[in-house]
Structure 1
Amino acid sequence: MWLSWRPKRSLALVESKDGFHWSEPPRLVLGPNKETGWEDDINRPIVIKRSDGYHLWYTGQAKGHSSLGYATSSDGLNWNRMSSKAVLSADQPWEKVAVMCPHVLWDEHTRLFRLWYSGGEQNEPNAIGYATSPDGLHWKKHEANPIFKPDPNLTWEKHKVTACQVLRRGDWHLMFYIGFSDEAHAQIGLARSKDGITGWQRLSTNPIIGPSLPESRTTSSAFTPEPRTGPSATPDWDHDACYKPFAIYDGSKWLLWYNGRHAGVEQIGVAIHLGEDLGF
């Protein structure tokens, strides 16, 4: 798992054989570069592996702005930045001062990298955009961006939607995303689209993950958070916000890792959904 190591303003790697018990301490794999002027702090990575190695996109932050950077690696540990300049920056009105939270898929048929990203304000971006690239460096933003916006009729996500993960499953693209009811409170939702761009259908039972305390839940959740253990574990560790989802299907169940926050403390947890059917 590649993650944001906030105290170091860097990206780090932890490893696990079961998805529940992870190596400690994190191993720093890419640090900030203040010389470029746009990545004093780096975070929010996405890594994909192809036959030619590992490809990483990440958020770089400096001077109240966020942009995306790109690096490659042969082993997932030692990374080479592919440009000293950001590969994607805020240049559209809806993007305001920030593009961040990249998620990338490689489309073998079209020979394109497909990017879903968040744009808007610096603290938490407002909506989700889409772009494509033949080389991971040069991106073309979709003319209809943002492709996914908050639904004002849904209390739990009426403020913002952001930081999605998109998966191909059969004929559908599944999107796991964060919905904010206000700036400080977030839960995780699920939507699907045939092309990953238009016609998004939200799961009727959203949100799928909310605070772990039963009295704090807004709906019956599709995923069940696993109890946290260890000295930092408390039953209300994700009381204020559940966000930054990343899910896989292992053949019998879905596992979804996410960040939980209570006050100023943010940690990573995992939730499980048995079976492949997510309820659409």
Structure 2
Amino acid sequence: MNVLSKAVCKAKKTIRRYRNQMHRWEYPPSAGCITVHPDPIVGGGSDGTCFDPFVMPSSSGYTLFMSRRATESVVRVDSRDGVSWGQTVEVLGPNSQSGSWDSAVNRACVLTEERGWTMWYTGQHEGRSCIGIARSDDGFRFERAQGDPVIEAELPFEGMSVMNPDVVRETDGTYRMWYAAGEDYEPDVICEARSADGIHWAKRKEPVLARGVADYDCYKVGGCHVLRLSSRRLAMFYIGYQNLDVARVCLALSDDDGASWKRSILNPLISPEHGSWRSDAVYKPTALIDENGNLRIWFNARSKRTELVGLAEARACEVLGFE
């Protein structure tokens, strides 16, 4: 591509983004029952851009795993209250082998198990993403459990990339993963797979959630986090894209153990806010319900090129529809 062609492509991209972002404030900054902390809680400073958080309860409070763009790695940070966080520690770095499928790593989720800590993560190389597995004895130093990905894009709707694994372990020991698939820059659909060992996965033959008809997710859907509410009821917090440059946190509910999903009437839950650190787009949610029935949603958001992690809170019954 010559200099003139590159200039034309850059100009077209700038115009596209300008037009897309004209829609970023078409919804309220949050659903009425949700309170968003005014300032980001993680990222910036020496960490720079941090994105796609995954939060889990820990013995000391909360542990957050997230992606750090500057080092193309997964980092960990801990907190007593879920609001004030300590120093970040790199727990999984990029694969240094030339041409590796995971020469950059990000978008991870973690479970604590009998054998220790298990991480499923996104590995990226030359415009393609796959999902890998790593393990740790202490939750601070993860080693790849095998050299190859555990999930790659194979089915027509998966496009070129699979990413954003979200794994739960059911009471019978079965693993269930929800993951995003499609384009590498931003995925298109949310999919599901099941496994007996966390390594060999059987994929559902169609997406579980695709773009909707309402403006907030009419373009595509992406990275999700699933909570089990009862034996049959699940809640899926996910990214809804109005276009390539405007995204929001949304919610879908299932009353049949994930066989089908229905979008919440509260959608979108969290949207860009004019003049704030989340003015352009809001991305990957992760959610927990505490012992007092409070729902907490951590997410990352973008203003221009800077992405940071924030927190929103609500009464779980008001968002999820149960007492």
TM-score of the aligned structures, taking structure 1 as reference length: 0.88
1:267 to 2:308 alignment: yes
> Which residue identity is paired with 2:207?
P
Structure showing greater Rg: 2
Structure 2, unmatched stretches of 5+, are 1-63
Partner of residue 232, structure 1: none
Structure 2 residue 107 is the aligned partner of structure 1 residue 21? no
1:6 aligns with one of 69, 78, 94: 69
Correspondence for 1:88 among 133, 142, 151: 151
- Whichever structure has more helix as a proportion of its residues is 2
- Please name the residue that 2:168 is paired with: 105
Secondary structure at the residue paired with 2:157? helix
Gaps of 5+ in 1: 214-234
Q: Separation in 1 of the partners of 2:95 and 2:129?
A: 14
Shift of 1:80: 2.0
Contact kept, 8 Å, 1:164 with 1:244, in 2: the verdict is yes
Q: What is the match of residue 70 of structure 1?
A: 133
Provide the identity percentage. Answer: 36
- Whether the 8 Å CA contact 1:130–1:197 is kept in 2: the answer is no
Q: What's the CA shift string for 1:228-272, capped at 9, x where partnerless? A: xxxxxxx51111111110011112311110001011000000001
Whole-angstrom distance in 2 between the partners of 1:251 and 1:212: 30
Report deviation, 1:52: 2.5
Residue identity matched to 1:257: W
User: Deviation of residue 195 (structure 1)?
Assistant: 3.9
Aligned match of 1:231: none
Q: What is the DSSP-based 3-state SS (H/G/I as helix, E as strand, rest coil) of the residue aligned with 1:276?
A: helix
Which segment is superposed worse, 47-56 or 67-76?
47-56
| Aligned equivalent of 2:47 | none
Classify 1:91/1:208 alpha carbon distance in 2 versus 1 (closer, same or farther; 3 Å).
same
Counterpart residue number, 1:147: 208
Structure 1 residues 104-127: Cα deviation after superposition (integer angstroms, max 9, x where no partner)? 000122x21100000000100000
The structure with higher relative contact order (CA 8 Å, sep 6+) is 2
2:292 paired with 1:241 = no
- Superposition map of 1:27-176 within 5 A: 27-35=89-97, 37-109=100-172, 111-143=173-205, 145-151=206-212, 153-170=213-230, 171-176=232-237
In the alignment, the residues of structure 2 paired with residue 69 and residue 194 of structure 1 have an alpha-carbon distance, to the nearest angstrom, of 30
Higher mean C-alpha deviation, range 192-201 or range 96-105: 192-201
Letter in 2 for 1:247: A
* 1:135-178 superposed Cα distances (whole Å, 9 cap, x missing partner): 111111012x2111111x21010001110100101231100000
The DSSP-based 3-state class of the residue aligned with 2:276 is: coil
1:46–1:56 CA contact under 8 A, matched in 2: yes
Does the aligned pair in 1 maintain the 2:216–2:242 contact within 8 Å? yes
Letter in 1 for 2:303: H
Alignment partner of 1:94: what SS?
helix
Amino acid at match of 1:61: Q
The one-character-per-residue Cα deviations of 1:179-229 (angstroms, maximum 9, x if unpaired) are 00000100011111134432211111200111234xxxxxxxxxxxxxxxx
One-letter amino acid matched to 2:313: I
CA distance in 1, matches of 2:320, 2:86: 34
**8 Å contact from structure 1 (residues 249, 276) kept in 2:** no
Determine if contact 1:243/1:260 at 8 Å carries over to the other structure: yes
Q: C-alpha displacement at 1:275, in angstroms?
A: 4.5
Determine whether 1:186 maps to 2:247: yes
Q: Is the Cα–Cα contact under 8 Å of residues 133 and 199 in structure 2 kept in the other structure?
A: yes
The one-letter code matched in structure 2 to 1:37 is S
How many residues matched? 255
